[in-house]
Structure 1
Amino acid sequence: MFSRSPGFPHKQRQNNGLLNQFPGPPIFSQQQLVEVQRNRTNSNSHGLPFCLPVIPPYQWNSAHRTPPPVPQGSPLAKGRKRRGDDHSQYELKRQCYSPPGPYIRPAATASRSPLPTRLETARAAGTFPSDVHSRASTPLSSPTPAVPSLGEASQDSDLISLRSAAKDKLSQQILELYVSCEQQDDDLERKELCRAQLQRDIQRLFPYSRIYLAGSSLNGFGSRSSDADLCLVIQEGSVNQKDAVHVLSLVQKFCYTLSYIDRPQLIRAKVPILKFRDKVSGVEFDLNVNNIVGIRNTFLLRTYAYIEKRVRPIVLVIKKWASYYRINDASRGTLSSYTLVLMVLHYLQTLPEPVIPCLQKDYPECFDPSMDIHLVPSEPRNIPPFISKNQFTLGELFLGFLKYYATVFKWDKHVISVRQAKVIPKTNCTDWRKFICVEEPFNGTNTARAVHQKDKFEAIKSQFHASWQVLQLRRDLNSVLPLQRSKQKR
């Protein structure tokens, strides 16, 4: 997976395994940390510090564009923070991300624009390895990307367009909830600053490591109260559960020496995580080790989130709805937020007139599951915006989503597949013997395997049916989700 990445040691340097590579307690004394830094410096024949990231994982661009005017009195003008022109001392150390551009069908043509200045500068400085030069030098397909760069102001033009189309009460309520609760640029920046600082510190323990921000904080479906998921990548390939626990235990002990980390707690789950709180921002973080598929699906979902303006509001209201009825917690045997998002995307893909395309079918090269991980953030950038013929309002889409899973979808026969934009039949495979089957788009596992009790499954099904019946009669979001209470939780 990392065969072309310059950032990780050669395989022969890792042949003793992680437990032999990092045995016993971590090296935490000040003298030892100084020695580690000295060794890293001396390891470079030119006398320059050898540390990662050689290629920044994402490109963080500050907001410079002038936002479109917002009508006076519009709720869109409320509660939307803007970043100022001043930049913090961390501006040059932020996580890098090259956003997907606007979507276009493979057979269509598009005008070409010159390579962005920041990529030319990086190439001139020699910060890209040779294998990335050829990819980075491909001209971008559109001067106006559909997906905003990180740190860039949200696309208010989309919100204004959605408001002008929201003639019915239900659509207006959904949009109002979305504007009130969506993650702001400042929220994301606070998470990014902690990630950047933690990466610098952890590289004192694991010099070849990188930390990626993933999950809802980055995929476009986060709310203001969303926790942040981090992925610590320390070597080529996967890491087994035993090694992951060992690495996280070292990181946990190390976190006690960091003044900005509070309450590090190791959770020995199927995918072990280290939970902690950033004292500066107050954000809760979940750190995993080498969960590479989480990085891949973050950028797949981010492309879906911005490829059509109705996707993010619909996903947010459905997550709020599921949380209100307590069917949105995998640790309690119900649906994870990731599973819910896949269910929404599947519904939007399979309408008679689809709201969104099937990205993995139309652009397999952009979402290749074997792609080097440092290329994952930038590969979707040539995808232009999808123009759907479907004119359903937000209210109609929410009601249709509930109806689809209440009356149309066959839970006992079908597997939900966003990768293929259709249902596929259940087989006798262990993963597909569960009550609910949702295919992970990259590794093919069942993301809904946590729903293993019949009573929880029946509760989920009944809630879809009950909410659909009530909402089709009243067409008022408050009838299935108290709007004011949901806004307060954000």
Structure 2
Amino acid sequence: MNARYNRIPVGSNMRHPIGMPNSSQLLNLDHFTSLQRYSDTNALFSPDLVIRSNIGGQSGARNDTWGNSRQNLRYDEARPTRPPNQLNGIQKRSAQRGNVANQKKQLRSLKDRLGQQRPINYVEVDRDRTELLADSISRRLNSEQSGSRLDPVELSDSETQDSTKYHKQISSSSKSSSASNTTSNTSVSSKSPYIDKLSHQITRFFFRNIQTLEVLQQKRYLCNRLFEVARAAAETQYSCNMFLVGSTLNGCASKTSDADLCLYLPNANIDKRKTLNLLEKLRNRLRRSGQFGGIQLIRATVPILKFNDHVTGFECDLNINNSVGIRNTHLLKAYSLVDERLAQLMFAVKYWARFNGINDASAGTFNSYSLALMTIFFLQVGVSPPIAPVLQQVEKEMFSLDREVEQLPRLDKMESKYRNDNSQTIGDLFCQFFEFFNSRFNFDTDIASIRLGRILKRSSKSEPQWTEKYICIEEPFDQSNTARAVYSHEKFTRIKQAFEGAERRADHGRDFDCFVAMHG
């Protein structure tokens, strides 16, 4: 898509409801590339895979997918003339006031051309957006057999005056549910008013905390600045590109999430020693620039440069040539486009794990990527009918390892291509997620694989990462175990207790706040 849109400067005061721009605010940012389109309903998960800042440094490779354009902004009007030295004091002050007025006029003209808009009242925006979401949920619930359901609009986070009546309805609904579901071990009936309230709370939590468009702009600005530094550190001996990866684009990023970046050198075959040398050069240049602090080189299996950006305030992790990270960002972004519930469930599960102390790979628990894979896997095999397709089986060419990462296809049609008949609410799915991994998935013998969309057995693997670890989640591209950080029985026990505790809280009809509060 080569259409030209209004440009919005980085750091402008333009805001929009919960980071959701309308179609008149489409972007094509200066100093950025390929941030081309945001839909009305899913702005943060645009069909365009916005993960790359590539300005110069190409080795002549043709790239129709991303584009590579850079334009310089300049004032249309000529600079005002300096008042001659022979003017008296009054004339000089008058001429200087004229210069200031002319400069302000130029600035207004520049802002008009860039499309800068007045800030929006956030209180009004949040209230309007909440009412919209509540109406949408209410329509979905009313389209089914509602019975004793409560209107989600009445179950906002701050409304407690009807709590007695509400808990009575939960109690009566639980009794009827247990009588009709004698063979099921599901935590809560999908037709209970508790599920309706939980769905409303999760949706509010998601839209209040998800990464806004302004934050995404700032991360792309950071990506562009780092690209210039990295190209200088590589001393132009390599063609290089800078990619934003991870939660920034796959649907799990919050307003305060870190920026994960990958410096990709497509024509360079560099080993770990050369990688460390290049990261050391980059570290030195970042220090000299004065724009970054807390710079640390982590000499791990995959070396990482950690630092803070003083301009945007983000904490950053930068690696080199981690093509698998670029590919799985592309894959998870595609999954987030298939069904809106997937991104919301990933976000809720991630923050449940974080607040319960099991989302830190350095401490021997889950990393966020493993939790995202578990969520997708659950939506593939844990619900009926399935919500998430097995994309690597039905879209083999799109996600083939034979395709260069610089030529990964756009995801324009992914949102409309896949439809499913599953009408479960996000609250129902959230509760069933814990029931699935507590009762139906056996951590001792099973491997979760979204690549095949089915459970694999540990007995089919012989490597220590499968036979000697407590939890096995298959990486869909290099087929490694993403949960290999869980190596101690103590941490595994803590993870199991967290899942069991979440299922108990769902059984007792607890609010979502009880799931994302520190326990243990």
Is the pair's TM-score, using the shorter chain for normalization, greater than 0.5? Answer: yes
SS of equivalent to 2:485: coil
The amino acid of 2:261's aligned partner reads L
**1:440 matches 2:475:** yes
Following superposition, the deviation at residue 257 of structure 1 comes to 1.9
Partner of 2:328: 297
Partners of 2:251 and 2:347 within 8 A in 1? no
Q: Which amino acid aligns with 1:443?
A: D
Residues 367-382 of structure 1: pairs in structure 2 closer than 5 A: 367-376=399-408, 378-382=409-413
Instruction: Give yes or no for the alignment of 1:94 onto 2:32.
Output: yes
C-alpha displacement at 1:274, in angstroms? 0.5
In 2: Cα distance, 1:452 partner to 1:481 partner: 25
What is residue 191 of structure 1 aligned with on the other side?
Answer: 219
Higher RCO (Cα < 8 Å, 6 or more apart): 1
**2:340 paired with 1:365:** no
Q: C-alpha separation between the residues in 2 aligned to 1:347 and 1:403?
A: 10
1:356 partner letter: A
How far did 1:158 drift? 8.3
1:86–1:315 Cα change, 3 Å: closer
Residues 226-375 of structure 1 mapped to structure 2, 5 A cutoff: 226-236=257-267, 239-350=270-381, 351-375=383-407
Deviation at 1:388, TM superposition (A): 1.4
Distance 1:80 1:96, change over 3 A: closer
The question of whether the paired residues in 1 share the 8 Å contact of 2:335 and 2:342 is answered with yes
> In terms of Rg, which structure is larger?
2
Q: Identify which range, 439-448 or 219-228, moves more after superposition.
A: 219-228
- How many residues were matched structurally? 374
How is 1:78-117 mapped onto 2 (pairs within 5 angstroms)? 79-80=18-19, 82=21, 91-96=29-34
Paired with 2:280 and 2:59, the residues of 1 have a C-alpha distance of: 33
Shift of 1:161: 3.7
**Pairwise CA distance, 1:429:** 2.1
Alpha-carbon distance in 1 for matches of 2:422, 2:25? 42
For the pair 1:201 / 2:229, whether they are aligned, the reply is yes
Q: Structure 1 residue 63: deviation in Å? A: 7.7
- SS of 2:215's partner is helix
User: How far did residue 205 of structure 1 move?
Assistant: 2.7
The 1:229/1:402 distance shift into structure 2, 3 A limit, reads same
Per the alignment, residue 172 of structure 1 pairs with: 200
Letter in 1 for 2:499: F
- Matched letter for residue 30 of structure 2: L
| Counterpart residue number, 2:500 | 465
SS where residue 289 of structure 2 aligns? coil
Alpha-carbon contact 1:366-1:380 (below 8 Å) kept: no
TM-score normalised to structure 2 length? 0.65
Shift of 1:477: 1.5
- SS of the residue 1:212 aligns to: strand
Distance in 1 of aligned mates of 2:425 and 2:444: 30
Aligned to 2:207, the other structure's residue is in SS state: helix
Within a 5 Å distance, the mapping from 1:70-149 to structure 2 comes to: 79-80=18-19, 82=21, 91-96=29-34
Q: State the shift of 1:393 in Å.
A: 0.6
Shift of 1:191: 0.7
Tell me, what secondary structure is at the counterpart of 2:482?
Answer: coil
Between the aligned partners of 1:59 and 1:412, the Cα distance in structure 2 is: 51
Give CA deviations for 1:394-417 in whole Å, capped at 9, x if unaligned: 110000001001111011111110
Worse-matched range after superposition: 195-204 or 344-353: 195-204
The 3-state SS of whatever aligns with 2:340 is coil
Name the TM-score, length of structure 1 as normaliser: 0.69
Correspondences of 1:214-233 after superposition (within 5 Å): 214-233=245-264
Any idea what the Cα deviations from partners look like across 1:210-267, whole Å, max 9, x if unmatched? 1111110112221111101000112437643332222111110111122322222111
Structure 2 unpaired stretches of 5+: 8-15, 40-47, 49-57, 67-128, 142-151, 153-195
Aligned to 1:366, the other structure's residue is in SS state coil
Equivalent residues of 1:100, 1:381 under 8 A apart = no
In the other structure, the counterpart of 2:455 is 423
| Structure 1 residues without counterparts, runs of 5 or longer | 1-57, 65-76, 102-115, 117-126, 137-155
Alignment check: 8 A CA contact 1:95 1:196 kept: no
**Root mean square deviation of aligned Cα:** 3.6
SS of 1:266's partner is strand
The percentage of counterpart residues that share the same residue type is: 30
1:3-82, aligned counterparts within 5 Å? 79-80=18-19, 82=21
CA contact (8 A) 2:19 2:213 kept: no
